[in-house]
Amino acid sequence: MAQDQAPVRRAKNPKGSGSRLRQEIIDAAGELLSELSGGKGLTVRGLARGVGVAPSAIYQHFRDLDDVVQAVVDDDYRRLAAAMRAAAAAVPEDDPVGRVRVLLHAYCDFAMANPSHYRLLFEHRRLTPDDVGLYPGGPLAEVIDDVVDAFARCAEAGSPLVAPPDRAGVMVFVAVHGRVSLFHATRRAKRPEDVHAFVDETVGVFLGLAR
Protein backbone atom coordinates (compact mmCIF):
# COMPACT_ATOMS: atom_id res chain seq x y z
CA MET A 1 0.00 0.00 0.00
CA ALA A 2 2.25 2.82 -1.23
CA GLN A 3 1.64 6.22 0.27
CA ASP A 4 1.40 7.93 -3.12
CA GLN A 5 -1.47 5.80 -4.40
CA ALA A 6 -4.74 7.49 -5.29
CA PRO A 7 -7.02 7.81 -2.28
CA VAL A 8 -9.65 5.13 -1.81
CA ARG A 9 -13.02 6.41 -0.77
CA ARG A 10 -14.03 4.86 2.52
CA ALA A 11 -17.59 4.15 3.51
CA LYS A 12 -18.53 6.21 6.55
CA ASN A 13 -18.85 4.36 9.82
CA PRO A 14 -22.20 4.69 11.59
CA LYS A 15 -22.46 7.53 14.05
CA GLY A 16 -20.79 6.70 17.35
CA SER A 17 -18.34 4.16 15.89
CA GLY A 18 -15.24 6.34 16.17
CA SER A 19 -13.32 3.51 17.85
CA ARG A 20 -13.67 1.52 14.62
CA LEU A 21 -12.07 4.31 12.60
CA ARG A 22 -9.30 4.60 15.18
CA GLN A 23 -8.51 0.90 14.76
CA GLU A 24 -8.60 1.24 10.97
CA ILE A 25 -6.03 4.04 11.24
CA ILE A 26 -3.83 1.84 13.45
CA ASP A 27 -4.14 -1.09 11.03
CA ALA A 28 -3.30 1.08 8.02
CA ALA A 29 -0.35 2.64 9.84
CA GLY A 30 0.90 -0.84 10.70
CA GLU A 31 0.85 -1.87 7.05
CA LEU A 32 2.64 1.30 5.97
CA LEU A 33 5.25 0.95 8.68
CA SER A 34 5.97 -2.60 7.52
CA GLU A 35 6.55 -1.35 3.98
CA LEU A 36 8.65 1.58 5.17
CA SER A 37 10.70 -0.59 7.56
CA GLY A 38 10.14 1.82 10.41
CA GLY A 39 8.57 5.14 11.31
CA LYS A 40 10.59 7.26 8.91
CA GLY A 41 8.64 8.23 5.81
CA LEU A 42 5.20 7.90 7.36
CA THR A 43 3.09 10.98 6.72
CA VAL A 44 -0.36 12.07 7.80
CA ARG A 45 -1.43 12.52 4.18
CA GLY A 46 -0.16 9.09 3.21
CA LEU A 47 -1.87 7.48 6.18
CA ALA A 48 -5.13 9.31 5.52
CA ARG A 49 -4.96 8.21 1.88
CA GLY A 50 -4.48 4.60 2.97
CA VAL A 51 -7.52 4.73 5.24
CA GLY A 52 -9.61 6.70 2.76
CA VAL A 53 -10.27 9.71 4.97
CA ALA A 54 -9.27 13.37 5.08
CA PRO A 55 -6.03 14.15 6.98
CA SER A 56 -8.06 16.04 9.57
CA ALA A 57 -9.74 12.76 10.55
CA ILE A 58 -6.40 11.42 11.78
CA TYR A 59 -6.11 14.29 14.26
CA GLN A 60 -9.54 13.52 15.67
CA HIS A 61 -8.06 10.35 17.17
CA PHE A 62 -4.31 11.06 17.53
CA ARG A 63 -2.23 14.05 18.59
CA ASP A 64 0.43 13.48 15.92
CA LEU A 65 2.24 10.77 13.95
CA ASP A 66 4.31 9.81 16.98
CA ASP A 67 1.06 9.07 18.79
CA VAL A 68 -0.09 6.91 15.86
CA VAL A 69 3.15 4.91 15.87
CA GLN A 70 2.87 4.40 19.62
CA ALA A 71 -0.66 3.07 19.13
CA VAL A 72 0.70 0.59 16.55
CA VAL A 73 3.35 -0.51 19.06
CA ASP A 74 0.76 -0.95 21.82
CA ASP A 75 -1.43 -2.94 19.41
CA ASP A 76 1.53 -5.13 18.45
CA TYR A 77 2.30 -5.85 22.09
CA ARG A 78 -1.30 -6.94 22.60
CA ARG A 79 -1.11 -9.25 19.58
CA LEU A 80 2.24 -10.66 20.72
CA ALA A 81 1.01 -11.33 24.25
CA ALA A 82 -2.19 -12.93 22.94
CA ALA A 83 -0.23 -15.22 20.60
CA MET A 84 2.10 -16.30 23.39
CA ARG A 85 -0.72 -16.99 25.82
CA ALA A 86 -2.74 -18.90 23.23
CA ALA A 87 0.26 -21.09 22.47
CA ALA A 88 0.88 -21.80 26.16
CA ALA A 89 -2.80 -22.52 26.81
CA ALA A 90 -2.72 -25.28 24.17
CA VAL A 91 -0.17 -27.24 26.25
CA PRO A 92 -1.44 -29.36 29.17
CA GLU A 93 -0.87 -27.80 32.59
CA ASP A 94 1.04 -30.89 33.70
CA ASP A 95 3.74 -30.05 31.11
CA PRO A 96 5.17 -26.76 32.42
CA VAL A 97 8.44 -27.22 30.53
CA GLY A 98 6.54 -27.62 27.28
CA ARG A 99 4.60 -24.45 28.07
CA VAL A 100 7.82 -22.48 28.53
CA ARG A 101 9.09 -23.68 25.18
CA VAL A 102 5.95 -22.94 23.16
CA LEU A 103 5.57 -19.57 24.89
CA LEU A 104 9.02 -18.57 23.66
CA HIS A 105 8.50 -20.21 20.27
CA ALA A 106 5.42 -17.99 19.81
CA TYR A 107 7.49 -14.94 20.74
CA CYS A 108 10.11 -15.87 18.14
CA ASP A 109 7.50 -16.65 15.49
CA PHE A 110 5.94 -13.21 15.89
CA ALA A 111 9.36 -11.55 15.75
CA MET A 112 10.50 -13.50 12.69
CA ALA A 113 7.23 -12.98 10.79
CA ASN A 114 7.03 -9.24 11.56
CA PRO A 115 10.58 -7.82 11.44
CA SER A 116 9.58 -4.17 11.03
CA HIS A 117 6.99 -4.33 13.78
CA TYR A 118 9.37 -6.25 16.05
CA ARG A 119 11.98 -3.53 15.62
CA LEU A 120 9.39 -0.89 16.51
CA LEU A 121 8.52 -2.71 19.74
CA PHE A 122 11.95 -1.86 21.09
CA GLU A 123 12.81 1.33 19.19
CA HIS A 124 9.57 3.19 19.83
CA ARG A 125 8.65 2.17 23.36
CA ARG A 126 7.16 4.74 25.71
CA LEU A 127 9.17 4.94 28.94
CA THR A 128 7.16 4.78 32.15
CA PRO A 129 7.89 5.45 35.86
CA ASP A 130 8.12 1.65 36.21
CA ASP A 131 11.22 1.49 33.97
CA VAL A 132 13.50 0.72 36.91
CA GLY A 133 14.79 -2.45 38.48
CA LEU A 134 15.34 -5.78 36.77
CA TYR A 135 13.49 -4.94 33.56
CA PRO A 136 11.27 -2.21 32.01
CA GLY A 137 7.65 -1.55 32.84
CA GLY A 138 4.70 -1.28 30.46
CA PRO A 139 3.58 -3.91 27.94
CA LEU A 140 7.10 -5.30 27.55
CA ALA A 141 7.06 -6.11 31.27
CA GLU A 142 3.83 -8.06 30.78
CA VAL A 143 5.46 -10.20 28.11
CA ILE A 144 8.49 -10.88 30.33
CA ASP A 145 6.20 -11.52 33.32
CA ASP A 146 4.52 -14.32 31.35
CA VAL A 147 7.93 -15.92 30.76
CA VAL A 148 8.89 -15.54 34.43
CA ASP A 149 5.55 -17.02 35.51
CA ALA A 150 6.11 -20.00 33.20
CA PHE A 151 9.48 -20.64 34.85
CA ALA A 152 7.89 -20.32 38.28
CA ARG A 153 5.43 -23.06 37.33
CA CYS A 154 8.37 -25.27 36.35
CA ALA A 155 9.96 -24.66 39.76
CA GLU A 156 6.69 -25.53 41.49
CA ALA A 157 6.59 -28.78 39.50
CA GLY A 158 10.05 -29.70 40.75
CA SER A 159 12.31 -28.66 37.87
CA PRO A 160 15.83 -27.91 39.16
CA LEU A 161 16.20 -24.31 37.98
CA VAL A 162 19.78 -23.03 37.98
CA ALA A 163 18.53 -19.59 39.09
CA PRO A 164 15.37 -18.23 40.77
CA PRO A 165 12.40 -18.01 38.36
CA ASP A 166 12.51 -14.22 38.09
CA ARG A 167 16.19 -14.21 37.11
CA ALA A 168 15.95 -17.31 34.92
CA GLY A 169 12.96 -15.92 33.03
CA VAL A 170 14.63 -12.58 32.35
CA MET A 171 17.95 -14.12 31.31
CA VAL A 172 16.29 -16.55 28.94
CA PHE A 173 14.14 -13.77 27.48
CA VAL A 174 17.25 -11.64 26.86
CA ALA A 175 19.02 -14.60 25.23
CA VAL A 176 16.04 -15.33 22.97
CA HIS A 177 15.68 -11.67 22.05
CA GLY A 178 19.35 -11.62 21.09
CA ARG A 179 18.97 -14.77 18.99
CA VAL A 180 16.04 -13.27 17.08
CA SER A 181 18.06 -10.10 16.48
CA LEU A 182 20.83 -12.23 14.96
CA PHE A 183 18.22 -13.98 12.82
CA HIS A 184 17.24 -10.63 11.32
CA ALA A 185 20.81 -9.36 11.03
CA THR A 186 22.42 -12.34 9.31
CA ARG A 187 22.78 -12.66 5.56
CA ARG A 188 22.88 -16.43 5.79
CA ALA A 189 19.87 -18.61 5.04
CA LYS A 190 17.25 -17.82 7.67
CA ARG A 191 15.91 -21.01 9.27
CA PRO A 192 13.21 -20.52 11.93
CA GLU A 193 13.83 -24.06 13.13
CA ASP A 194 17.35 -23.02 14.16
CA VAL A 195 15.86 -20.31 16.37
CA HIS A 196 13.44 -22.80 17.91
CA ALA A 197 16.32 -25.19 18.59
CA PHE A 198 18.21 -22.38 20.34
CA VAL A 199 15.16 -21.68 22.49
CA ASP A 200 14.84 -25.34 23.51
CA GLU A 201 18.55 -25.65 24.33
CA THR A 202 18.56 -22.43 26.37
CA VAL A 203 15.45 -23.43 28.29
CA GLY A 204 17.04 -26.82 28.94
CA VAL A 205 20.16 -25.19 30.40
CA PHE A 206 18.20 -23.02 32.82
CA LEU A 207 15.90 -25.85 33.84
CA GLY A 208 18.81 -28.16 34.53
CA LEU A 209 17.78 -30.47 31.70
CA ALA A 210 20.88 -30.07 29.53
CA ARG A 211 23.39 -32.90 29.46
Q: Cα separation of 122 and 201, whole Å?
A: 25
Phi and psi dihedrals of 196, rounded to 5?
Answer: -60, -40
Question: Consecutive 10-residue runs of the chain (211 residues): their mean pLDDT?
Answer: 45 58 92 74 89 93 91 92 96 95 97 89 63 62 93 95 94 96 86 96 89 48
Output the CA torsion 186→122→90→195 (10° steps): 10
pLDDT digits (tens, 9 = 90+) for 52-105: 999 999 999 999 988 998 899 999 999 999 999 999 999 999 999 999 999 999
Handedness of CA 153, 171, 126, 62 (dihedral sign): negative
